[in-house]
């Protein structure tokens, strides 16, 4: 089919499609619930134990489900009804907040309860994540895919700022038991939005008729490897995070370099979310970016440059601008990677490809946390960031030069598709 004249995508364009609008509204409720729950869990664990070590172990319990279920979750998303899978995971997810509220009111809550339920919540997120990403592609036309991915990121960043504040306010006013009840009701609202979606979640092609198996998981890995632009996106993300995972050094910079104390540290931690919101607004204003591969490479190089700047500057205000830039470039890179997965992967491979992306990101964060910590111990935090940013930029440049598809993708227009119904 010949391409007609291109239509500029409005910033809110994907919200004109009823079922995507419901998914987006559900994402607001689930995002608020997620970031409320994270803050409440850390708060309660420290109240019960007074131990920073036990706080650190909580992060381990969050990561274990990703490492054990990550690839399996993609195969599940490609072989079962994605809408039903999301409804089931959201329903099971209601266990954690309401059970914790009961244990708190009964004065029975213990740290191990929180660890166990943290793992349960992590497992639900791992299984539900690829299903949501694979399902989203059914709700908007290809022309709106980047707009849809960007719009879905807006609730994530907004709720990252609002959720913890809401949780803390409820704790101060009514107590932590009522905060967990409120958290559960937000998850009920998110579940309700999912139930109202009319689009089928049954996978297309042969995947829906095959069993979840090792062979299916291997097929998903092979597909990601063969699609060079997708695999290049994974490598760029891994390289950026493995050598530029700056977050764990923010407390050191705030105290020992900038001398700004806890308030300054809080501002530094919030700055990446502000950058991410700015990136989302810019991408929404741009509409559909045709040369996605080119912009992906540029955003990776930009991230590396901001890591080096964060390490090089002795001034708090410039370090703050660097962290805003890190949030901005990271969000651009994330949005482009997710959009490319939706556009390049066929329906029966989207879940496995999204799960592979999730695994790469988790391994990159784990590797980066260890690498930057060791480097900071050997070189000092500032030099570690400068060296990490430089190494990241060099490797991303090599990847970009070797993978020609990054430069070729979007050079010529693709076919237009009939959009789903609006309403």
Q: 3-state SS string over 280-291?
A: HHHHHHHCCCCC
| CA separation for the pair 22, 194 (Å, rounded) | 7
pLDDT at res. 415: 42
> Does 412 score more than 80 pLDDT?
no
Across all residues in the chain, what is the average pLDDT?
80
396-413: string of b/e by CB count within 10 Å (b at 16+)? beebbeebeebeebbeee
Which of 110, 139, 146, 179 lies closest to 24 in space, CA to CA? 139
Mean pLDDT of 383-404: 89
- How confident is the model over 279-331, as pLDDT tens digits? 888 888 877 777 888 888 899 999 999 999 998 988 988 998 999 999 899 88
- The stretches of 50-175 forming alpha helices (DSSP H) are 52-77, 82-93, 95-105, 111-136, 145-174
Q: Which of 78-82, 85-89, 156-160, 163-167 has the lowest mean pLDDT?
A: 156-160
Mean pLDDT of 171-184: 90
Torsion angle in degrees (nearest 10) through CA of 141, 147, 148, 149: 120
pLDDT at res. 303: 94
pLDDT at res. 21: 93
pLDDT at res. 223: 77
> Does 350 score more than 70 pLDDT?
yes
The residue with tokens 């799960």 is 355
pLDDT tier at 393, thresholds 50, 70, 90: very high
- How confident is the model over 116-144, as pLDDT tens digits? 888 888 788 778 877 887 788 788 887 88
Mean pLDDT of 365-380: 76
DSSP for 301-366, written as a single string: HHHHHHHHHHHH---HHHHHHHHHHHHHHHHHHHHHHHHHHHHHS-GGGHHHHHHHHHHHHHHHHH
pLDDT at res. 287: 73
Which of 303, 290, 287 lies closest to 238 in space, CA to CA? 303
CB 97 within 8 A of CB 37: yes
pLDDT tier at 205, thresholds 50, 70, 90: low
| CA separation for the pair 328, 283 (Å, rounded) | 11
| CA separation for the pair 281, 11 (Å, rounded) | 8
Query: Has this prediction a pTM greater than 0.85?
Result: no
| CA separation for the pair 199, 205 (Å, rounded) | 17
| CA separation for the pair 396, 403 (Å, rounded) | 11
């Amino acid at each position: 089919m010949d391409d007609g004249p291109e239509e500029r995508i409005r910033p809110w364009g994907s919200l004109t499609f009823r079922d995507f609008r419901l998914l987006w509204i559900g994402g607001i409720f689930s995002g608020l619930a997620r970031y409320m729950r994270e803050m409440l869990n850390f708060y309660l664990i420290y109240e019960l134990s007074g131990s920073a070590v036990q706080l650190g172990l909580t992060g381990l319990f969050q990561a274990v489900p990703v490492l054990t279920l990550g690839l399996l979750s993609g195969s599940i998303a490609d072989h079962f009804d994605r809408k039903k899978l999301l409804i089931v995971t959201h329903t099971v997810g209601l266990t954690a907040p309401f059970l914790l509220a009961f244990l708190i009111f009964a004065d029975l809550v213990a740290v191990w309860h929180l660890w166990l339920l943290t793992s349960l919540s992590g497992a639900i997120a791992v299984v539900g994540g690829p299903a949501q990403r694979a399902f989203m592609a059914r709700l908007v036309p290809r022309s709106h895919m980047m707009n849809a991915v960007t719009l879905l990121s807006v609730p994530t960043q907004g709720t990252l700022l609002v959720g913890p504040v809401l949780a803390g306010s409820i704790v101060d006013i009514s107590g932590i038991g009522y905060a967990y009840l409120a958290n559960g009701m937000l998850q009920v609202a998110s579940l309700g939005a999912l139930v109202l979606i009319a689009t089928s979640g049954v996978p297309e092609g042969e995947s829906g008729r095959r069993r979840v198996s090792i062979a299916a998981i291997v097929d998903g890995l092979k597909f990601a490897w063969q699609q060079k632009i997708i695999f290049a996106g994974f490598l760029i993300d891994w390289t950026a995070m493995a050598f530029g995972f700056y977050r764990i050094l923010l407390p050191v910079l705030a105290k020992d370099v900038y001398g700004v104390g806890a308030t300054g540290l809080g501002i530094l931690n919030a700055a990446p979310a502000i950058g991410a919101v700015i990136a989302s607004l810019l991408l929404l204003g741009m509409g559909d970016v045709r040369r996605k591969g080119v912009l992906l490479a540029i955003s990776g190089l930009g991230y590396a440059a901001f890591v080096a700047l964060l390490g090089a500057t002795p001034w708090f205000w410039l370090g703050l601008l660097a962290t805003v830039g890190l949030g901005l470039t990271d969000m651009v890179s994330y949005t482009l990677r997710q959009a490319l997965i939706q556009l390049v992967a066929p329906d029966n491979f989207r879940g496995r490809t999204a799960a592979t992306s999730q695994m790469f990101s988790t391994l990159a964060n784990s590797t980066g946390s260890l690498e930057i910590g060791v480097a900071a111990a050997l070189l000092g935090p500032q030099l570690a960031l400068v060296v990490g940013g430089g190494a990241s930029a060099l490797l991303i440049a090599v990847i970009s030069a070797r993978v020609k598809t990054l430069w070729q993708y979007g050079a010529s227009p693709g076919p237009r598709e009939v959009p789903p119904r609006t309403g």
